[in-house]
């Protein structure tokens, strides 16, 4: 592996080479030193500061690539922030020699070392490669501990009561209570646990389900909160051997799957039955 300092120096030089320096005359410099009063100059100043922010973010992407692959990149990087994402979600898209990272607005104030881990995780998915780095470890630990920052929690009364029963019976009452919500009838998931906002969501399909089924759904998703996840390069593992072993500890586990199928069948929820049979939760 190349010397880290040498590698970062190459990245720095490449960034400087790509940056187009425009010469300004003495009068222009003197003018810029004065206070800006009119709206036109204020807008200009704002645009310049925005360019500096974008440039700074693209530098982070260059560093992330270099630390991940031990070489500088020929890609042009762009990092954008959006309020459209839920929690700390993010995506990446590659078109020709340009890679655009779209990050949740929440990432704006996150430490650069963690943000580099996020960008590296997205790069591995784009390049279809497996690799581990210190920054990726920092990113994964950040995601695993996000539930400690979620203070705005919501609790459905019925789900909350059933969670307390599950918590006492299977976790000795030690599991911190997540938000518990009903979710619209999604055609993709029947129940989920979101690490970003520490929320268990149960599909409205199960609103009239027996308590035993709801308790199993809550137990399954609580295991995700309890065990977190494991990563290896670009791959993330949620249903590990340990997860499946603990899942089987649910009372009457052997029959719960058939009970869920019969419930969905009785409610004429064919597409949800197919979803459950195909991928479970």
pLDDT in tens, 90-100: 999 999 999 99
Of the residues 95, 130, 165, the one at which a domain ends: 130
pLDDT of residue 265: 82
Q: Using CA of residue 220, residue 221, residue 223, residue 227, what is the dihedral sign?
A: positive
> Does residue 200 lie in a domain region?
yes
Residues in the chain where the model's pLDDT stays below 70: 1-55, 150-151, 185-188, 233-234, 268-281
> Does residue 186 lie in a domain region?
yes
> Does residue 139 lie in a domain region?
no
pLDDT of residue 200: 95
Residue located via tokens 């990149």: 73
Same-domain pairing of 112 and 167: no
Please check whether residue 72 is in contact with residue 62, taking contact to mean a CB–CB distance below 8 angstroms: yes
Same-domain pairing of 255 and 196: yes
Same-domain pairing of 72 and 169: no
Same-domain pairing of 70 and 163: no
Cα 227 off chain centre by:
17
b/e string for 110-128 if b means 16 or more Cβ within 10 A?
beeebbbbbbbbbbbeeee
The reported pTM is 0.61
Q: What is the dihedral of CA 232, 236, 238, 242, to 10 degrees?
A: -10
> Does residue 197 lie in a domain region?
yes
Same-domain pairing of 184 and 253: yes
pLDDT of residue 23: 42
Same-domain pairing of 177 and 59: no
> Does residue 141 lie in a domain region?
no
As for how many domains the chain has, the answer is 2
pLDDT of residue 149: 74
> Does residue 135 lie in a domain region?
no
pLDDT of residue 109: 87
Same-domain pairing of 111 and 176: no
Of the residues 81, 97, 130, the one at which a domain ends: 130
Same-domain pairing of 47 and 164: no
Same-domain pairing of 151 and 264: yes
Task: Give the structural domain span for 244.
Answer: 147-279
pLDDT of residue 17: 64
Same-domain pairing of 22 and 79: yes
Same-domain pairing of 83 and 11: yes
> Does residue 203 lie in a domain region?
yes
pLDDT of residue 253: 93
> Does residue 172 lie in a domain region?
yes
CATH number of the domain enclosing 183: 3.30.2010.10
pLDDT of residue 274: 63
Residue 131, phi then psi, degrees to nearest 5: -165, 155
Same-domain pairing of 159 and 95: no
Bridge partner residues of 103 (DSSP): 81, 90
Of the residues 130, 159, 183, the one at which a domain ends: 130
Please check whether residue 22 is in contact with residue 51, taking contact to mean a CB–CB distance below 8 angstroms: no
Q: What's the rounded Cα separation, in Å, for the pair 52 and 193? A: 38
pLDDT of residue 51: 46
Which residues fall within 8 angstroms of residue 168, CB to CB, at 6 or more apart? Answer: none
Q: What's the rounded Cα separation, in Å, for the pair 277 and 120? A: 34
Q: Average per-residue pLDDT in the chain?
A: 81
């Amino acid at each position: 592996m190349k010397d880290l300092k040498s590698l970062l120096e190459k990245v720095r030089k490449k960034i400087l080479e790509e940056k187009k320096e425009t010469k300004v005359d003495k009068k222009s410099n003197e003018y810029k030193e004065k206070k800006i009063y009119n709206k036109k100059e204020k807008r200009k100043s704002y645009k310049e500061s925005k360019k500096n922010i974008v440039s700074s973010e693209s530098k982070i992407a260059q560093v992330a690539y270099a630390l991940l692959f031990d070489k500088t990149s020929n890609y042009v990087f762009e990092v954008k922030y959006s309020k459209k994402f839920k929690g700390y979600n993010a995506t990446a898209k590659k078109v020709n020699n340009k890679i655009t990272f779209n990050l949740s607005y929440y990432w704006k104030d996150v430490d650069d070392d963690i943000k580099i881990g996020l960008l590296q995780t997205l790069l591995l998915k784009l390049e279809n490669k497996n690799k581990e780095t210190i920054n990726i470890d920092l990113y994964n630990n950040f995601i695993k501990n996000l539930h400690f920052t979620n203070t705005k929690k919501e609790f459905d009364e019925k789900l909350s009561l059933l969670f307390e029963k599950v918590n006492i019976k299977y976790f000795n009452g030690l599991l911190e209570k997540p938000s518990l919500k009903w979710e619209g009838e999604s055609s993709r998931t029947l129940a989920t646990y979101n690490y970003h906002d520490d929320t268990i969501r149960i599909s409205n399909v199960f609103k009239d389900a027996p308590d035993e089924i709801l308790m199993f759904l809550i137990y399954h998703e609580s295991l995700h909160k309890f065990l977190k996840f494991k990563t290896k390069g670009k791959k993330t593992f949620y249903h590990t051997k340990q997860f499946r072993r603990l899942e089987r500890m649910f009372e009457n586990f052997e029959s719960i799957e058939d009970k869920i199928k019969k419930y969905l069948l009785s409610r004429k929820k064919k597409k949800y039955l197919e979803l459950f049979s195909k991928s479970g939760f």
